[in-house]
Structure 1
Amino acid sequence: MTKPQSLFKSGRISCLPIRNRVVMPPLGMALDSAYGEITDYHIAYYEVRARGGVGPIVMEACLVEPTFGKSDFANSRIDDNRFIPIMHRLANAIHKHDTRIFVQMHHAGRQSNSALTGAVQIVAPSPVSSPVIGETLCALSLEEIADLEDRFVQGALRCKMAGMDGVKRFNHRPCEQQFRNCPIEDQHCCLSS
């Protein structure tokens, strides 16, 4: 059986050259510290994949807001500058193997639940609850929406300062998608410019 040759050819994601088209998708690893910091285990896990020859890596859901935005008990975070140094270590570990790394920025919105938020009421674009979660929601105010938008911008800037190659929206009905009636396409944002 022959290998599909185009899969192993170099390519580009927006402005970034990639060594091949084998993409490691985001996988929830639950290797973070209790405070959302990437651990040495996390770095080692991703570095093995980079060394193995994957083109770009997309890191799992990384919170832009740690209280209301959780989708799991163990989420990476990028909501504060204190996460930049460890993210920088991760970026360096990946880059030394000629691999790119993207961060999947996330806020769960109505897909969160009160067990994850510490019994704090879930926030979402509207008070309409998720049929999956079934909890009463608190609609975001216009000021809270503006704050959440700013958190995504600040998260992307922190990713850039940490040396990450780009950011990606989490695409399983996160808060920013819940403003729309239909699914939106997955998009990557290049941070090199």
Structure 2
Amino acid sequence: MAVKLFSPYTIKGVTLKNRIVMSPMCMYSSHEDGHVQNWHRTHYTSRAVGQVGLIIVEATSVTPQGRISPRDLGIWSDEHIEGFSELVGLMKEHGATTGIQLAHAGRKAVLEGEILAPSALAFNENMKTPKEMSKTDIEETVVAFKKGAERAAKAGFEVIEIHGAHGYLINEFLSPLANKRTDGYGGPAENRYRILREVIDAVKTVWEGPLFVRVSAHDYHAEGLTDEDYITFAQWMKEQGVDLIDVSSGAVVPAHIHVYPGYQVKFSETIKTGADISTGAVGLITSGIQAEEILQNDRADLVFLARELLRDPYWARTAAKELGVPIEGPKQYERGWL
């Protein structure tokens, strides 16, 4: 049986050399201006050297007030393009496909001044109460995602992921736990989906490449959403032209989550089967054998790794040795790669 983890994967004309994806992970290493720093150049390029197939740059804010922290990367200005263009070039030089996650933190922004959310509900007792977004606020945010996508295209990224997970703005709109609106953006599922629909449509006016959406497919709350609810959302996304759902879970409200190896893979499988759409699986995936099982059993199309790639930038080599597959490494490392 051929090993799938190291087989290429083509999506909308873009071919990943393998099915290993580096999940977007905030580095909190920018300055207040949101620009790329040397840390980002080192961090992302080293994973490209390590033969990761697709690297998705961390949650990058489309507005200054949409940052999770003052140290987040930003893409709200044309001045950000140059730094990202350099970063893209460094990653591509080593054979990685490049992606970026466009994001807005919503009520989970930890910033001075006003923060925005679908409803004026704080995430917890220690966090700021946000302003309920007006229709104008929503329209401006949708335009900001569009402009962020336009800048990502100019920087040379090959994949865009919209951040709709982990309790940030779009996830807040999707979940009835955070969205108590009574207008066209609240109430029934179709209304709660409306801002994501508008963001996808807006992004697609300036972006023709692969489009992913990251979701939190389970709220871990009796009155929240489950992976079955996300089948409907995924069907709508597919109709709009989204190519892949990156399936995570949790963080829209405080919750105790029982974690174990691969604990979120079942959500990916449910959405992939139920909506007939490509998915990525994430969540305590640490070994090549574990990743290969997911792919061989058609539980996902791509495997997203986060903390394991922080621990081992050369995880692709580790997994290849485990699975008995030779993979080519950097010429400079030939004496120590095999």
Q: How does 1:1-193 map to 2 (within 5 A)?
A: 5-66=3-64, 68-113=65-110, 116=111, 118=112, 120-131=113-124, 133-170=126-163, 171-181=165-175, 191-192=208-209
Check whether the contact 1:166–1:191 (CA below 8 A) recurs between aligned residues.
Answer: no
Return the index of the structure with the highest Cα Rg.
Answer: 2
Q: 2:127 & 2:45 partners in 1: Cα distance? A: 39
Report the TM-score, using the length of structure 2 for normalisation.
0.50
Check whether the contact 2:62–2:144 (CA below 8 A) recurs between aligned residues.
Answer: yes
Q: Secondary structure at the match of 2:10?
A: strand
Offset at residue 135 of structure 1 (A): 2.8
Check whether the contact 1:111–1:133 (CA below 8 A) recurs between aligned residues.
Answer: no
Q: Secondary structure at the match of 1:102?
A: strand
* Comparing 171-180 and 145-154, the one that deviates more: 171-180
Offset at residue 121 of structure 1 (A): 2.6
Offset at residue 133 of structure 1 (A): 4.8
Q: 1:175 & 1:21 partners in 2: Cα distance? A: 29
Q: 1:30 & 1:85 partners in 2: Cα distance? A: 19
Q: CA RMSD in A?
A: 2.7
* Comparing 97-106 and 79-88, the one that deviates more: 97-106
> Greater relative contact order (Cα 8 A, min sep 6): structure 1 or 2?
1
Offset at residue 182 of structure 1 (A): 6.1
Number of residue-to-residue matches in the alignment: 185
Check whether the contact 2:18–2:53 (CA below 8 A) recurs between aligned residues.
Answer: yes
Offset at residue 15 of structure 1 (A): 3.4
Report sequence identity in percent.
26
Q: 1:16 & 1:132 partners in 2: Cα distance? A: 45
* Comparing 89-98 and 147-156, the one that deviates more: 89-98
How big is each residue's C-alpha offset from its partner over 1:129-158, in whole Å with a ceiling of 9 and x where there is no partner? 223654322111101100000000000010
Check whether the contact 2:12–2:209 (CA below 8 A) recurs between aligned residues.
Answer: no
Q: 2:141 & 2:123 partners in 1: Cα distance? A: 20
- Deviating beyond 4 angstroms after TM superposition, the runs of 4 or more aligned structure 1 residues are none
Q: 2:170 & 2:138 partners in 1: Cα distance? A: 9
Q: 2:54 & 2:39 partners in 1: Cα distance? A: 19
Q: 1:174 & 1:101 partners in 2: Cα distance? A: 23
Bigger proportion of residues as helix: 2
Offset at residue 36 of structure 1 (A): 1.1
Offset at residue 22 of structure 1 (A): 1.0
Q: Secondary structure at the match of 1:129?
A: coil
